[in-house]
Amino acid sequence: MRSDTIKQGLERTPHRALLKGTGVPDSAFEKPFIGVATSFTDLIPGHSGMRDLERFIEKGVHSGGGYSFFFGIPGVCDGIAMGHKGMHYSLPTRELIADMVESVAEAHRLDGLVLLTNCDKITPGMLMAAARLNIPCIIVTAGPMMSGRSLSGRKYSFVTDTFEAMARYKAGVIDDKELKICEDNACPGMGSCQGLFTANTMAILTETMGMSLPRCGTALAVSALKRRIAFASGEKIVELVKNDVKPRDIMTRAAFENAIRVDLALGGSSNTVLHLLAIAREAGVDLPLETFDILAKDTPQLASMNPAGEYFMEDLDVAGGVSGVLKQLGDKIKDAPTLFGLTTHQLAESIANVDEEVIRPLSNPIKKEGGIAILTGNLAPKGAVVKQSGVSAAMMLFEGTARCFDAEEKAMAAIMEGKITSGDVVVIRYEGPKGGPGMREMLAPTAAIMGMGLGDSVALVTDGRFSGGTRGPCIGHISPEAAEGGPIALVEEGDRILLDIPNRRLELLVDDATLAARRAAWKAPEAKIRTGWLARYAKLVTSAHTGAVTTAD
């Protein structure tokens, strides 16, 4: 065992003494040492219930014949970090999380890991660490929140009933009382936000890739089922250690393609593009950005999920969950191994019935193409991402007038003050991985556009990114970003921009000579943040089209 390095032989007497100082008994030195990386925090509803799941993981590890050690991993709530300086830190924490898990597992020579996670950047960070370390690992996602309910029986969702409610209130559509009802009911308890936002999309894709147990991706945070999954995951990690089943045995090219197809079929978060690219890099899997678009054209959207659609995570879970989606996708899913033994085809065959109101068959899709599209053109030579499942038919082809803002706050003020009108294209730049730094999510301005009734007449383009809760004609991840001198830095107020999603084009309608003159005059702005670790991050981070990873290259 890896852990023999710190527990066997005369030379390890000091090591054993220190371990015994934590309470480890002699009998444990013959057992696998299992690390449980937990992102518990009181700050995030998606993580506040993890103390309970930790108990069941611990019981499972010891029942399976291992000895568990807990260590903490930080978590940032994107919803709380939204719209202020805090959002600069969200995406960069993904790299910190991977580095921290690697550091503890390597320094203490742990034999295997249970990675307890839930929210947006924590789950991909954990998966990056698993792929990088390539020691036996299993993921436990803590589960989605129940939908909120009012006395009238209406269902509430965090994003559409808080962020968009702000704009509806500003526009006079709702009053103080209704705004307060939204605030009080949108988040009824523990769990990740109820719709198919980034946290839940990543939980589903983790299960799809075979890195968590069946139904882990959809079982509610408050359910006894989630406790049983936590216990079974604790038992399973000991078995994985004994059988030497490693993450790269599971996270193959086929597994990533299956994850992309499930994402497309459900209309999941556009952030998964960044995360899957980053995880694949750690796993040594070649996964070019264009893979998403190739598969999107051959993968229909089968479910209408909140925020752009009708159903919540609780509906998807009882409709068949991930296994139900695999069953409906049929031969489009490649047969791949999972860490719990069944292949993806066997898992799909194990489902007797699927609720086809929630997860439609291939013969009756919501849309003919999957939920994410990759755009290119002279405004995004290396690519841009749009969640086309959230775009209305009226905005799939759109030409508008550029309204340029060099920071999210400036754009948000203009939207809320009524300065953005029908026919505009809001351009928010210098918010990319380097320029932000940290590639902030733009949920506040996109929600404001939707809430003020401009979703069918105004588009937004940015080198930043969007929340999984974003809907509407919002194009992000524009590469190269403005801070690197990408074409988005050259857009001027009043320019015309063409959005053509069916043909995957994003064009700045300005002639080459004019753009060349603008480029010659362009100067890189001063960094927004020049101290602390974000200053170092900005120097190391790569472009969005490569997953916005940090590298010393």
- Catalytic positions, please? 467
Output the six-digit token pair for 223.
């359910």
* Contact criterion met (CB below 8 Å) for 381 and 480: yes
**φ, ψ for residue 86 (rounded to 5)?**
-55, -30
Output the six-digit token pair for 366.
């919501």
Q: Torsion angle of alpha carbons 391, 395, 396, 401, nearest 10°?
A: -120
Can you tell me which residue has the tokens 């079974």?
Answer: 232
Close Cβ partners of 300 (under 8 Å, ≥ 6 residues apart): 265, 362, 365, 366, 367, 368, 369, 370
Angstrom distance (rounded) from CA 336 to CA 4:
32
Find out whether 242 is annotated in a ligand binding site.
no
Using alpha carbons, select from 467, 541, 545, 464 the residue that is nearest to residue 95.
541
Find the distance separating the first CA and the last CA of the chain, reported in whole Å.
Answer: 33
Partners of residue 496 on adjacent β-strands:
401
Find out whether 441 is annotated in a ligand binding site.
yes
Angstrom distance (rounded) from CA 538 to CA 452:
34
* Contact criterion met (CB below 8 Å) for 431 and 399: no
Q: What 8-state DSSP symbol labels residue 163?
A: I
Using alpha carbons, select from 324, 268, 261, 334 the residue that is nearest to residue 298.
261
Partners of residue 405 on adjacent β-strands:
428
Find out whether 121 is annotated in a ligand binding site.
yes
* Contact criterion met (CB below 8 Å) for 160 and 306: yes
Angstrom distance (rounded) from CA 507 to CA 499:
7
Find out whether 184 is annotated in a ligand binding site.
no
Angstrom distance (rounded) from CA 273 to CA 548:
10
Angstrom distance (rounded) from CA 450 to CA 456:
8
Q: Crossing angle of helices 90-107/271-283, nearest 10°?
A: 30
Angstrom distance (rounded) from CA 525 to CA 538:
13
Q: Side chain identity at 297, as an amino acid letter?
A: K
Using alpha carbons, select from 491, 288, 478 the residue that is nearest to residue 386.
478
Angstrom distance (rounded) from CA 98 to CA 120:
14
Binding residues for Mg(2+): 78, 120-121, 441
The binding site comprises 78, 120-121, 441
